């Protein structure tokens, strides 16, 4: 079976940039967050979400309005949990299908912003956490998404804190400088490859 390396980090930590770099190194990668967006396009998932939130979360073309859903779940933890109970099993199934195409002992890096929240870390052989100071993360997301300070802060506060994540992670990269982080992730993966495979 493939060796699963979970890579996570809060919003604005820069994990997406690091994942793109990992791809250039030739590793197999899986984006759980992208898979979540993909499964939310499936009719059976849309139907369950509409049952939960009502038809107001539908666009005119009957696709989901993810912005409206986000606005609801970021202020209602019960609704967030209910949404996760719909989406997480579908993503897990998608990942299982992805693994079937990999070789024995091949490393796969699975990126997920909510690796711990979804308990996906329990199925990982090793977890790498990408961190950055909160003020840096907020500035990055405000610039990237044209969001306000308060909007970003609410999203950060709805995720498990980095302090808790650090206790459950095998490797931690403080991502202030991308070039330095690229060097660090390459060394970590090379080391993991030597140990595991």
Q: Residue 197's pLDDT band (boundaries 50, 70, 90)?
A: low
List the one residue out of 14, 181, 21 whose CA is nearest residue 109: 21
In our burial notation (b when 16+ CB lie closer than 10 A, e otherwise), range 21-56 reads bbeeeebbbbbbeebbeebbeeeebbebbeeebeee
pLDDT exceeds cutoff 80 at 1:
no
Select the CATH number that applies to the domain covering 3-196 from these four: 3.40.50.300, 3.40.50.2020, 3.20.20.370, 3.40.50.10440: 3.40.50.300
pLDDT score at 155: 84
Helices 66-73 + 77-99 axis angle, to 10: 120
pLDDT score at 54: 94
Residue 102 CA, chain-centre distance (Å), reads 21
Q: Residue 154's pLDDT band (boundaries 50, 70, 90)?
A: confident
Percentage of residues in the chain having pLDDT higher than 70? 99
Averaged pLDDT of the chain: 92
| Domain positions in the chain | 3-196
pTM (predicted TM-score): 0.89
């Amino acid at each position: 079976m493939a060796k699963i390396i979970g890579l996570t980090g809060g919003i604005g930590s820069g994990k997406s940039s690091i994942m793109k770099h990992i791809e250039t190194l030739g590793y197999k990668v899986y984006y759980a967050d992208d898979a979540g967006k993909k499964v939310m396009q499936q009719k059976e998932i849309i139907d369950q979400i509409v049952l939960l939130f009502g038809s107001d979360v539908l666009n005119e073309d009957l696709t989901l309005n993810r912005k409206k859903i986000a606005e609801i779940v970021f202020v209602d933890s019960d609704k967030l949990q209910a949404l996760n109970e719909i989406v997480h099993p579908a993503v897990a199934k998608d990942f299982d299908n992805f693994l079937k195409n990999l070789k024995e002992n091949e490393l796969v890096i699975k990126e997920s912003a909510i690796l711990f929240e979804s308990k996906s870390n329990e199925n990982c052989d090793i977890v790498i956490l990408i961190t950055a100071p909160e003020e840096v993360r907020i500035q990055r997301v405000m610039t990237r998404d044209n969001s306000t300070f308060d909007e970003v802060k609410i999203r950060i506060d709805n995720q498990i804190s980095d302090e808790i994540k650090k206790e459950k992670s095998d490797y931690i990269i403080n991502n202030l400088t991308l070039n330095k982080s690229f060097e660090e992730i390459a060394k970590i993966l090379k080391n993991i490859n030597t140990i595991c495979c």
